[in-house]
Structure 1
Amino acid sequence: MGLNKCFLFILLLAGSTTGQERVRTIHVFVALCDNEHQGIVPVPQKLGNGEDPANNLYWGAMYGTKTFLTKSKDWTLVATRKNPGDTVLERVIFRHKTTRAYLVADAYRGARIKDTVQDFLDAAAGNHPKIVEFQKESLGIHGSADLVVYVGHNGLMDFTIEPRTSDKDAKPRDAMVLACKSRPYFEPHLSQLKCRPVLLTTGFMAPEAYTLEAAVAGRLAGESADKIVERAARAYDKYQKCGLKAARRLFYSGQ
């Protein structure tokens, strides 16, 4: 092969590599609804069993993370793993249909909500980076995720936790917290960790997956904080029928 042809081949090869979209990962920490171990208004027993992901309000029910995203037009369920850890009963992996993005969601035992909150905040700090191998992709979770999300009851209303600190060389991640009044309870922790809150809440709310789906869609589209808040508000109003003005007041971005 002549020098010019060889050089052209190298340029074409480099272009095909650098032009490939980077894999992005969203890691969602779901504290399963639990009538017995959480300070919540009790829900029907079947929905509030924190040891039963399949029927849980925040996981297997109609608007739970697993069920709702499985039916989403934007996501495809590609993997399910039972009991990936002592505190996690099930892990699911979704692949986005039009971008090179994955969403990894973990269903934490309802009784281990404090561990869920602590793991989420550690991930927001960029601590404990981990990789999940799926087919030929390496998916960053915990402190390696591009975005970390907490879903469930606001456990910080019931207990306090020691302030988290960032490990050496850790890089804070962007974060969302879909729980009642997450701004006053979670923002101080996130601010201390220099983590950017993409979406928080100002009042009581149902942390169901239509809000998660809408907010993540805006994030993947590279939208501004205001547009992500608007997406979340419109989705919430669509399902809760609370009025768009009220829904807009419910969501806040610290970016």
Structure 2
Amino acid sequence: MKIIISLITIVLSSFAAVSQTKTIHVFVALCDNIHQGIVPVPDKIGNGQDPKNNLYWGAGYGVKNFFKVKTKDWQLIQTVPSDDPIILERLLFKHITKDIYVLADAYDGAKIKDCTENFLRSANGQLSFELKEKSKTLDFGGGSDLLAYVGHNGLMDFESNPSYQESVTKIRDIIILACYSKRYFEPQVRKAKANPILWTTHLMAPEAYTLKSAIDGWIANESGEQIDERAAQSYHTYQKCGIRGARNLFTTGF
């Protein structure tokens, strides 16, 4: 009887672990020809106040369009009103087969510093907030299980010194898709006490296929090295840059 009870307990525990709700918060700094130190892109996709057409949001491989149109794994379930005027659009996606949610925020490109610092503070467990989705209460910001930043590396243009908590209740996984993100973000990520599962070593196009591949690996509970390889394979597929170059572009951990 004790053996049977033990087996039932193990099965129930395993089921609970598999079915646990998880949340992912993605911070997107909209591409902005005027307010960011970038090589200018065509005006239509480089307007940081126009999420609909923006390179990192509404364009073909932007976060909104890619997750809404180009992948079958995620479904847009809610457009969430934001009380913060610098968040121009906020979308909630749910995984088709798993109890996992992605909240994606499109930040005004002129407010890239706010976007960057909100991401870093959230990675430190700050700025937590809840969203209601039917009967569920979902935790985002510092309450998220995974956080990601997508966009220009603003730390190449400005200094940032957000305030961090000295102790955290848990170490949060993060992804930073921006040029040279490891070099520029590492001091801040260490202060935030976060775990970088994917960031970059060189110039890159921070488009959503890489984000989606990294999230797939995270959902599958893969190691940082496995997620790194997923990202490289995806980046090479879309950029045709050579797998060796793609592998050299991404890295994991400190």
| TM-score normalised over the length of structure 1 | 0.91
CA distance in 1, matches of 2:97, 2:45: 33
Q: What is the alpha-carbon distance in structure 2 between the residues aligned to residue 56 and residue 93 of structure 1? A: 18
Counterpart in the other structure of 2:46: 48
Task: Look up the match of 1:137.
Answer: 136
Is it true that 1:78 corresponds to 2:51 in the alignment?
no
Aligned to 1:231, what secondary structure does the other structure show? helix
Tell which structure's C-alpha radius of gyration is larger: 1
8 Å CA contact retained: 1:84, 1:91: no
Partners of 1:129 and 1:208 in 2: CA distance: 26
Partner deviation per Cα, 1:160-219 (whole Å, 9 max, x = no partner): 011431166553411110000000011111112221101010000000000000000000
- Write the deviation string for residues 141-171 of structure 1: whole angstroms up to 9, x where unpaired: 1100000100000000000011431166553
Q: Percent identity?
A: 50
Question: What is aligned with 1:234?
Answer: 233
Aligned position for 1:36 = 34
Report the alpha carbon displacement of residue 81 of structure 1 after superposing the two structures with TM.
2.9
SS of equivalent residue, structure 2 residue 143:
coil
Q: Which sections of structure 2, spanning at least 5 residues, go unmatched?
A: none
- The residue identity in structure 2 corresponding to 1:27 is H
Deviation string, structure 1 residues 115-153 (Cα, Å, up to 9, x no partner): 000000000001121111111121111100000100000
Q: For residues 147 and 125 of structure 1, what CA distance do their matches in structure 2 show?
A: 12
CA RMSD of aligned residues (A): 2.1
Matched residue SS, 1:143: helix
State the 1:228 CA deviation. Answer: 0.3
Given that 1:26 and 1:145 are in contact with CA atoms closer than 8 Å, whether structure 2 keeps it comes out as yes
Question: Runs in 1 of length 4+ with deviation above 6 angstroms?
Answer: none
1:108 aligns with 2:78: no
- Tell me how far apart the structure 2 counterparts of residues 75 and 248 of structure 1 sit (CA, whole Å): 26
How far apart, in 1, do the equivalents of 2:239 and 2:168 lie? 42
Number of aligned positions between the proteins: 245
Q: Which letter does structure 2 place at the counterpart of 1:30?
A: V
Unaligned 5+ segments in structure 1 are: 1-7
